[in-house]
Structure 1
Amino acid sequence: MTFQLVARLVVLVCAVLFVIFLIAPQAYSPLYGVETNQSAQFMTRRAAPMFLAPMIILWAASSAPRNGLRDAIAFGFAALFAGVGVTGVMAWMQGVASPMTLLAAAGEALIAALLLGTRKN
């Protein structure tokens, strides 16, 4: 896959998460078998803008020619998604989250792998 395609797919994922986190934070935690309360909703809503940075950076870089900066962007966001996936697996192993977390972690690992793969194109 090309960097442009992967970047734009990740932009779409981040946009969906941004909207869910901002508008319906109470709907997110239960997907993973985690109870939601006002504190969790507050933190989820506060985390929503953190999806804007990947959206803006990846959208802006999606048409850029391959160079060191574009490779660094791909590597950095691959690390971000891999890290989120690892924390999900850890939460499942600790019994904090449901097996649904493993599905999300698999998606995050796929995104990381796709981003890393674009560094070779």
Structure 2
Amino acid sequence: MAAFNRNLVLAFVVVLSISSMEVSFAARHLMQSSQPTLPTIPTIPTLPKVALPPLPAMPTLPKAAAALPPMPATPLPTMPSLPTMPTTMPKVTLPPLPASLPTIPTTMPSFPTINIPTTLPSIPFFTPPPSTTSP
């Protein structure tokens, strides 16, 4: 098992060293090569401006022929006065603590027992009718 782990680590080291050499060769090649010329982008023609048609004139609405009668004014009822709040809080008294705590039972109460019959009752069977033919 140890030999397998050693070979696996050695294989990883070899793969990493080869890949790092390839990466450095590729980076050196990219640095030494000249940059390519970028293609020219064609110009976009300008779009024509579209003028919106003028909005139609607002029509005049007919005026109300007769003025409406004024609304009758109803007097608002008076608000009732707020009740007076007490300024002092009542004294709260707690009931006295019991002199001693009740005792905790140490024995469990007995549970009722159920008698389950261990034998099955016999079922009476009818006797077969006598046969008329002999075998």
Q: TM-score scaled by structure 2?
A: 0.18
Q: Counting helix residues as a fraction of each chain, which structure ranks higher?
A: 1
Which has the larger Rg? Answer: 2
Q: TM-score scaled by structure 1?
A: 0.20
